[in-house]
Structure 1
Amino acid sequence: MTFAEARQVLGAGQACSRTRHAIERTVPFGLYCYTITVIWYTLHGHHPHDTAGHRTRAPWYVTKTHPAFSDMAAKLRRTIIAARFMPIDAGQPTDTEIRAVQEAWAAASTDLA
């Protein structure tokens, strides 16, 4: 299943490569991407309600108990797209805050001199 899903979902093995080194790198890179996706989903992306939500959207999948790799890849794509369009993370300082800290350091260094 791993090789079939890597070919169908990620396109591993479908690249039009002409050189020997490109051919030797394409499929392993596709399988690496497959592995990274599964690990990400296992550690960060899985929610118990994912399968139930899929069953709600597609009621003909009554026997679906685990997410398929295509579900994992779709969730990773949605997460990446959402992260690109989200506002700046609250944990990151703004330019004004950075300048204020730099000015405070500069003032502290002149006070010590």
Structure 2
Amino acid sequence: MAPEAGAVQWRWSIEVTFAEARDLLGVGQAQSRTRHAVERTVPFGLYCYTITVVWCTLHGHHPADGAARREKAPWYTTKAEPSLFDMVAKLRRVIIAVRFTPISPGRPTDEEIRAVQQAWAAASAA
């Protein structure tokens, strides 16, 4: 008996997910020796896969990304959505940029310090 077309399509997306997780994120390549470590590594890798896709969907994807990718790879003439490779590459670029961008706002001025101290004094007096 032949499987239904819908079941085959559904299974194919799962197989693609596993292949991408294995090839791009290294899921299943950990050299764990204990039972608990083995039981944790693959689910953790798939969790990382999920977090990457959710991040890209909510924050990382920009419509211009597809045009930029098509410009670098002209054979992607119909590419409309990012692949996992595109998502991972963008996430890596964002992590590197954030890591090397100064995040400390700098030292406050004397006037700013006095204003905060006066506000605290006024709040404690009330």
State TM-score, norm by structure 2: 0.74
RMSD of aligned residue pairs (Cα, Å): 2.4
Q: For residue 65 of structure 1, report the CA deviation from its aligned partner.
A: 2.4
| Structure 2 equivalent of residue 103 of structure 1 | 117
| Structure 2 equivalent of residue 65 of structure 1 | 80
Is 1:24 the equivalent of 2:36?
Answer: no
If you compute each CA radius of gyration, which structure gives the higher value, 1 or 2? 2
Q: 1:1-113, aligned counterparts within 5 Å?
A: 1-88=16-103, 94-96=106-108, 99-100=113-114, 103-105=117-119, 107-108=121-122, 112=125
Larger RCO: Structure 1 or Structure 2 (Cα < 8 Å, ≥ 6 residues apart)? 1
Unaligned 5+ runs, structure 1 = none
State TM-score, norm by structure 1: 0.82
* Equivalences, count: 109
1:16 partner amino acid = Q
Task: Work out the CA distance in 2 between the residues paired with 1:56 and 1:44.
Answer: 22
Task: Work out the CA distance in 2 between the residues paired with 1:41 and 1:100.
Answer: 43
Q: For residue 109 of structure 1, report the CA deviation from its aligned partner.
A: 6.7
Task: Work out the CA distance in 2 between the residues paired with 1:69 and 1:9.
Answer: 8
Identity of aligned residues (%): 62
Moved more, 58-67 or 41-50: 58-67
